[in-house]
Structure 1
């Protein structure tokens, strides 16, 4: 049984295309989704000038705002080139007469260069807010003009002007705690998507085993049919577990992804791998060609993942679609990970989800074993 399972795992990685889709592609998708949906990534802002005292004060305020990563560039031409080539999200050009214009109460223009993209437009709004705050004393001095510029700026910075106080409060419970990052959410959904998808597409190796006559030779050897079935089932589960562990370890090391209670997360991964292995065994035993297995595997793997909430957050689904989603094992596994991550649950809190996944696995393995036994003895 162990030998049969090991051969299935070796055959998975002997196909070089699987090395990309099993090892690299899931990690790349986690990185893309994590960066796209609020990972704390700060856009790069190129700044020219800023060597005089007042200009340096503006640049320092931009750096400490926490909304951008300030990068010093040599001149306006270098700043424009950086924006055009995508090295910079935007650029701010501070003229050389910035300090002199403010001290003489004359208008000064800061040039902002960006592409018409949402991030750049939001960055422009942030720069305007910081600039207004930094130049407020100078504008107040220009309004008064009673004394030296430096003295008026100092006095304006010390004056406390009464205004309107806005207080913010929140009610209810947040669906996603702030401690959970977008990488955590992306890694969870991609783990379920690729574990199930790799299991189904890997069912082609079981068909190849039958087509090449390997199954008949194993059946003719002094090995019971039960051992062959257990070996093929273990092989399918090993493929699913390998894919899941690659995503868990890789995302944890590269992006600091947390999976909650280790015992609970391990039980969820094992249960879902059993589901994927059972589905792969059924597909591999029911279909006749590898092409059919790959086509059906892609259709079922992507379709059930979309319905089950791994491509779009299940929180956005309507009540009816949530009920439909829970006809798939993906939705139950997502509920289990949500319990572990959002509410700091333990394995005891996810027993209902584990029970449903175990039922899925038992049904799929039962049908797959029955169908494979029939195929072997036909």
Structure 2
């Protein structure tokens, strides 16, 4: 049994394309989704022009806003080109006569260049807010205009006017606490997506074993059918476990991803690997050609991941869609990881999710073993 399982694991990594899809591609997606969900990543705003004290004050205020990374750019043309090429999310062009216009109370326009993206629109709102805040003393001085510009601005900056305080409170329990980073959210979903997808597409190896006559030769030896079935099942689970461990440890080392209680996370990974291994065994025993296994595996792997919340967070699903999602093992596993990470749960807290995953695994392995036994003894 161990020899059969080991051969399946070696065959996985002997194909160099599998190394990319099993190791590299999941880490790339975790990086992209982690940044998208929010992880302290600041979009870049290019700033060009303006050399006076008011222009410097505006740049300092933009840098201190915490909503963007300010990058100094040489001139207007360079700023526009960098925005067009995607090197900058947006650019603010400060005219050379900015300080002079403010001191003489002359209206001045600050051109803002951006891509047609939601991220750029958010930066635009932040830039307008900062510009308005910096220019507020100048507006106050322009309203009075009795005295020198510097004196009026100093009086406006020193003035303390009662303001309005906005307090924000959250009713109930937050869906995703602030301590949970975007990488934490992305890592668990990508773990489930790729473990199940790789398991199903790897079912083609089981068909190759039958097509090349390896399974018939094993059956001709004194080895029992049960041992052969256990070996093939262990091989499928070993592939899923290996990829899951790579994603877990890789994301923890590279991005500081937290998985919650280690015993609970290990139990969830083991159970979901059993689900993926059982599904792969059933698919490999039911399909006749590798092309069929790959096509059906991709369809089921991506489709169930989408429905189960591995592509879009379950928190964004409606009530009906959440019920449909829990027809898949992915949703139950995601609930388990959410319990461990968001609520600091233990392995006891995710016992219902582990039980459902164990039922899925038992059903898949029972059907897969029955079908593979029939194929071996035919």
Aligned partners of 1:22 and 1:243 also within 8 Å:
yes
Q: Provide the residue aligned with 2:33 in structure 1.
A: 33
Whole-angstrom CA distance in 2 between matches of 1:319 and 1:358: 25
Between 64-73 and 27-36, the greater mean CA deviation after superposition:
27-36
Aligned partners of 1:50 and 1:58 also within 8 Å:
no
Whole-angstrom CA distance in 2 between matches of 1:263 and 1:375: 38
Distance 1:294 1:82, change over 3 A: same
Aligned partners of 1:202 and 1:280 also within 8 Å:
yes
Between 32-41 and 296-305, the greater mean CA deviation after superposition:
32-41
Secondary structure of the structure 2 residue equivalent to 1:347: coil
Equivalenced residues, count: 378
CA drift of 1:279 comes to: 0.9
- TM-score, structure 1 as length reference: 0.95
CA drift of 1:62 comes to: 0.3
CA drift of 1:56 comes to: 0.8
Q: Provide the residue aligned with 1:85 in structure 2.
A: 85
Whole-angstrom CA distance in 1 between matches of 2:125 and 2:67: 11
Secondary structure of the structure 1 residue equivalent to 2:133: helix
Distance 1:110 1:316, change over 3 A: closer
Secondary structure of the structure 2 residue equivalent to 1:178: coil
Whole-angstrom CA distance in 1 between matches of 2:67 and 2:374: 63
Q: Provide the residue aligned with 1:199 in structure 2.
A: 199
Aligned partners of 2:50 and 2:97 also within 8 Å:
no
Between 318-327 and 49-58, the greater mean CA deviation after superposition:
318-327
CA drift of 1:50 comes to: 4.0
Distance 1:345 1:59, change over 3 A: same
Secondary structure of the structure 1 residue equivalent to 2:106: coil
Q: Provide the residue aligned with 1:251 in structure 2.
A: 251
Q: Provide the residue aligned with 2:23 in structure 1.
A: 23
Q: Provide the residue aligned with 2:365 in structure 1.
A: 365
Aligned partners of 1:50 and 1:59 also within 8 Å:
no
CA drift of 1:255 comes to: 2.2
Q: Deviations over 1:133-163 (max 9, x none)?
A: 1111122112212222222211111111224
Whole-angstrom CA distance in 1 between matches of 2:209 and 2:352: 37
Q: Provide the residue aligned with 1:13 in structure 2.
A: 13
Q: Provide the residue aligned with 2:144 in structure 1.
A: 144
Q: Provide the residue aligned with 2:325 in structure 1.
A: 325
Q: Provide the residue aligned with 1:267 in structure 2.
A: 267
Between 86-95 and 26-35, the greater mean CA deviation after superposition:
26-35
Q: Provide the residue aligned with 1:73 in structure 2.
A: 73
Whole-angstrom CA distance in 1 between matches of 2:214 and 2:240: 22
RMSD across aligned positions (CA): 1.6
Q: Provide the residue aligned with 1:336 in structure 2.
A: 336
Whole-angstrom CA distance in 1 between matches of 2:338 and 2:97: 56
Q: Hey, which bits of structure 1, 4+ residues long, moved more than 4 A?
A: none
Q: Provide the residue aligned with 2:300 in structure 1.
A: 300
Q: Deviations over 1:71-97 (max 9, x none)?
A: 011111211221122111111121222
Q: Provide the residue aligned with 2:279 in structure 1.
A: 279
Aligned partners of 1:259 and 1:341 also within 8 Å:
yes
